[in-house]
Structure 1
Amino acid sequence: MTNTARRPAQSPVRLMAAFAAPVLLGGALLMGAAAPALAQTSADTAFKATTFNLSAFGETRVAPDMATITLGVQTEGATAGEALKANGTRMNLAMAALKKAGIAERDIQTSNLNLNAQYAYEQNQPPKLTGYQASNQVTITVRDLAKLGATVDAAVGAGANTVNGISFGLTNPQAAEDAARLEAVKALQAKAELYGRATGYKAVRLVNLSEGGGYTPPSPPMPVFAMAKREMADSTSISAGELKVRVDVSAVYEAAR
């Protein structure tokens, strides 16, 4: 005789819950599938937006308030020791003259020191050592441009015989850069308005703004003169002129009719 167990009937509540589970699962699946579609819709909307991608620059000119100049001493001797000793003596005199002219210790920096053997060359003969050449250069910063010419004269008069270059700069370029930034933004806005009139669109929102450029001291230094060997009858005349400070900007504007 077969014993058949009778299964209890499920309550309506349980039947509804069992029936609802696949629906919820299906809903979850449908939501997961819709996420990429929503992202794609947002991307399409951004892509279809009309934008102006523009760039402009601003410039300001300002008189420099400082200068850097490289000068030095070049000497020769039969031996390396003689060349270096003569160089050191003349450089010490030149340094003393610079300090007497008002150049602070912090504004004097050794920038080059060399000792080279000198040779004579004859055809079909090995090079012949003739002596040694020593050179020592310092880069100085002059913060009072009215004294620049007199400072150079003082150094040369004391023994410096090489002046390689000069460059002018700004002690604090912040104000000049900010003025250039304002000019750059004005030019950028004017360009956006011009394109708006030309296309029938109007820039309604600034989306992105980036900056490039800024103050950069002249490099390499402008040549002045080398191997200075002359009488200083008058103070050397040096014109500082003006520096050009430029700032470049680029922006993205959202545009609409």
Structure 2
Amino acid sequence: MKNQQWGVVLAAIIVCAAIVFAADRLQQTGIRIEDRSEPVVEKKTEAIPVTQRTITVTGEGRIVVEPDHVRITAGVSELAETTGKAQQQANQKLTRVLDILKENEIPERNIQTSHLAFRPEYDWSDGERRLIGQRVEQSLNIDIPEIDVRPDRVAKILDTFGAIHQLEMHSVSFEVKNRKELVNRARVLAFEEARQKAEALAQLSGLAVEKPLQISENEGNARPIPYFRTTPQMHAAVEGAPSALPAGEMDVTVMVNVVFAVR
């Protein structure tokens, strides 16, 4: 019996020695035995997202003001045999325009050339191209300030412009200088109106308004008031009576779309 127990022990010792010897030989040859079994990872249960309740509303802010300056766009278009002659004719009329503005105390910084072009002009009436002359065009942007203080100055300038033969009056627009400040004020009014609408809707639904999740803005532009004087009939009317140009009122409008969270 003892001989059998010693035999088992001896066999175990021999097996262990063989394993140690084999591992040592594998290490010497650069071969490693690794355990590549993947560890068991405990899977987490993902929470189901809760749908966010929202209310979407639109608010409008509107500021009504009287315009305080006028922007005029005027120009000349002259045709002559040469570019030099056409430019000379254009310069004569523009010099008269600048003199009128100076007489009415309009600073030079308020006058800017917005368009200048030289080009040949052709006649195609006979089915073929025929050069008839050289065309020179030039336009000016003129800013007349303080119309709230000196309201008659605009009409006086336009009436004098009307006496210049073939001077083209492209447009007259009434504007405000502090537009940025007015937009900021209109934006506040628009957002307050949007919040009031959201709170009213939430109260009807038994909900409470929280923070805004999304805001978008759209600024409305006040329409310019056009004014044209290019026909001979209009030119004759200038000689009979002064122009009446009521500035009226203009508005600055801001629209906001707001998405509020509610609970």
TM-score range, shorter chain: 0.7 to 0.9
* Structure 2 partner of 1:251: 258
**Alignment of 1:164 onto 2:170:** yes
Give the aligned residue type for 2:259. Answer: V
Give the deviation of 1:161 after TM superposition.
1.0
Q: Structure 2 length as normaliser, TM-score?
A: 0.71
State the secondary structure of the residue aligned to 1:224: coil
**Alignment of 1:137 onto 2:139:** yes
**Alignment of 1:214 onto 2:219:** yes
Alignment of 1:80-159 (within 5 A): 80-123=83-126, 126-145=128-147, 146=151, 147-157=153-163
For the 8 Å contact 2:213–2:261, the answer to whether it is kept is no
Q: Give the superposed CA RMSD.
A: 3.1
* Structure 2 partner of 1:20: none
CA distance in 1, matches of 2:124, 2:260: 69
CA distance in 1, matches of 2:141, 2:120: 25
Q: Percent identity?
A: 20
Paired residue for 2:60, among 57, 61, 69?
A: 57
Give the deviation of 1:68 after TM superposition.
1.1
State the secondary structure of the residue aligned to 1:76: strand
Q: Structure 1 length as normaliser, TM-score?
A: 0.73
Show CA shifts across 1:236-256 (max 9, x none). 222222222111222232323
Give the aligned residue type for 1:67. Answer: V
Q: How many residues align?
A: 225
For the 8 Å contact 1:76–1:132, the answer to whether it is kept is yes
Q: Gaps (5+ residues) in structure 2?
A: 1-6, 17-38
Show CA shifts across 1:208-243 (max 9, x none). 352412364547x73423357445454322222222
State the secondary structure of the residue aligned to 1:138: strand
Q: Gaps (5+ residues) in structure 1?
A: 8-24
For the 8 Å contact 2:159–2:242, the answer to whether it is kept is yes
State the secondary structure of the residue aligned to 1:106: helix
Pair member with larger Rg:
2
* Structure 1 partner of 2:80: 77
Give the deviation of 1:88 after TM superposition.
1.3
Paired residue for 2:71, among 68, 73, 77?
A: 68
**Alignment of 1:240 onto 2:229:** no
Show CA shifts across 1:55-84 (max 9, x none). 222222111112211112233323322111
Give the deviation of 1:93 after TM superposition.
2.0
